[in-house]
Amino acid sequence: MESEQKKEGGFWELVKYVAIALLIIIPFRIFIAQPYVVSGSSMDPTFKDGDYLIVDQLSKRFEEPKRGDVVIIRYPKDPSKFFIKRLIGFPNEKVEIKSGVVTIFNEKNQEGLTLDDSYIVYPKKDNFVAELGDNEYFVMGDNRAGSSDSRVWGSLPRENIIGEPILRLLPLNKISVRPGMN
């Protein structure tokens, strides 16, 4: 009888620990940080297929993103899919690409601000123009020649930005804090 009570007490202890763990882990995953595994080569060489990242979802609620930030996004055409891209254009700006050179036009830069893309290894000499509205962003992959991004599917709504990578945990030889940030 005593052994039966110990088994029953052990079971309820386990249930209690699982419940406490879930009360901590689920809100953490939903609101603060979550893992993300890079799939594909659109951010090559900055991020490779299989890189394991931890994504900060909290700071986006308190601070505005910056040009050049790497972000995890929900794909606008299918929000169940997640992509990793770099923020290029911001609300109410004009993004102009001529022979692969990206220039941003806005109130502060009416003559145009040419982006420093010195980190690009796989350029694409394309031409493109986009006018962004309120709460619209323009994102591109670092592998310009092999990225499906705003040049293909249009602007990104602000609410589709999930967060930015704060840790790269895999591969082990590339462990880093705030990976991909210039």
- Annotated active-site positions, please? 42, 85
Select from 81, 28, 84 the least CA-distant residue to 57: 28
Instruction: Judge contact between 46 and 142, C-beta under 8 A.
Output: yes
Q: How far apart are CA 109 and CA 103, in angstroms?
A: 10
Contacts made by residues 151-154, CB under 8 angstroms, sequence distance 24+: 151/97, 151/126, 153/75, 153/76, 153/77, 154/76, 154/130
Separation between Cα atoms, residue 19 and residue 133, nearest integer Å = 45
